[in-house]
Structure 1
């Protein structure tokens, strides 16, 4: 969630280890993040930030090893909740806790933040949730709700810098079909084969496949044999409703962000392919051609 305005983050490596405890603050904002690997919880649990009311994320590999799993929680304070998860939840390998400078968050605030983060993750469908319950938003005053929306926007601006993209839905980027435009826009690209066609464009988050794009139902045997992770990712899209059956093909129900044009093309066509050459604009120029021409300017 970006408002397009530049901002600064201060990252303090508290123990001198870049992979250890980090305190992240956004200039002129109250949101403060505490980032650390699971193994350090016994050492960092005495940090004053973890004695405060806040919201937290637990991240780690999925049981099948393909991609991440996410848990969103809140604590008043955070520390007891993290200690409980340390003993009872096996999947997570790192944690990110968010508190407000000066301890300004209360229980209702963090319940609101937890509910909003879960709703955003469920809408984006980029990372599966380990949460068993999906809480509703608590009742807040108009002023408190406005303050928490600002706090949330600051959190969402910080998280991609920390490598967390679970809450990002596909960005709304202006596209062009090839006609020159006055302002910079992303060219609309097409991927077709085996009776299906998809459209999409490159964005800062990755490669966006547009809603209404179609994908094949069946995949080639070599993809199943040599790239089982791709089969898992495809099934995830079906399970989450991003892909649904539509006649003799599958259809994207929403704009969806892939990490690369190649991954998008593979899941659309059901076979291994190079997205840089498979995605083309309305004039037939490949994504590689367009990028090389742009780089040569």
Structure 2
């Protein structure tokens, strides 16, 4: 369940784009983000001699998709040097290790396996790992430790800008037609936060469902959009975005319709509506709740009224 937390980020060189060290003061886990160009500087630090779990991050230049490789090792120094020589896609690595140097190889093996499962379930990053292997045998006390450690890693990764374990829209209700949309906590237990209102966007050959989140607008898997785009739309950035989503297999052509294969995050309701309708669109007006009230009335107008009242 989400709760307020204090997170400290230390910049060893004072450069926000350089090495960053993040930790929650009451936890024993620390994560270190290292640009690939500064890997040599990290290898001079004492931490590379520890057991750790690491995440290589980069982009697919052809599709623009975010990619990640998850690994673990008893010698970060040796393993990261091997990846620097043998893997091309990544430009940053985030390493998770223990402040007390108490992670064992058993901890690391289970955390690697769990991280791969959570990454695959979230479908936010393309997973570079070939397979996740079998679930390691983990005694109950160690399993309890790993559950807490992994949650700390999840929070710190998201804080640094890598929400690799967080689905774009966590749901307790899987049927997009029924009931309120309720976010889940990372372990699957219902989150005590506010429910997310479900919105609908329909048009010729289009019938989509979505939710407005703190990251943008999410069109839910199973939604459909119009495959044929109007001529004026084909010169826009939204059309190029839609073609990119088709290339990434987030959208699949099915006759006259486009089917959303997975929950898909857009930066704005207008971008989501345009990709659904195959034309430029005013998202805050196109997306409506089940009573027909537009998103603008729920999300935009209250802010405008609040600003007027404060002035």
Give the TM-score band, short-chain normalised. 0.7 to 0.9
Equivalenced residue count is: 286
Shift of 1:221: 6.1
Distance 2:276 2:300 in 1: 25
Preserved CA contact (<8 Å) 2:49 2:77: yes
Preserved CA contact (<8 Å) 1:198 1:214: yes
Distance 2:286 2:158 in 1: 28
The answer to whether residue 205 in structure 2 is matched with residue 206 in structure 1 is no
Structure 2: give runs of 5+ residues left out of the alignment: 174-178, 182-192, 307-311
SS in structure 1 at match of 2:209: strand
| 2:97 paired residue among 91, 96, 99 | 99
| 2:242 paired residue among 205, 220, 230 | 230
State which drifts further: 141-150 or 222-231. 222-231
Shift of 1:187: 2.5
SS in structure 1 at match of 2:249: helix
TM-score (norm 1): 0.85
1:127-206 pair list within 5 angstroms: 127-169=125-167, 170-172=169-171, 184-206=194-216
Distance 1:21 1:142 in 2: 35
Preserved CA contact (<8 Å) 1:19 1:36: no
The residue aligned with 1:126 is 124
Shift of 1:143: 1.1
| 1:50 paired residue among 48, 51, 74 | 48
Distance 1:140 1:109 in 2: 8
SS in structure 2 at match of 1:116: helix
Structure 1: give runs of 5+ residues left out of the alignment: 178-182
Preserved CA contact (<8 Å) 1:34 1:97: yes
Preserved CA contact (<8 Å) 1:66 1:229: no
Distance 2:203 2:110 in 1: 45
SS in structure 1 at match of 2:144: helix
The residue aligned with 1:24 is 22
State which drifts further: 31-40 or 221-230. 221-230
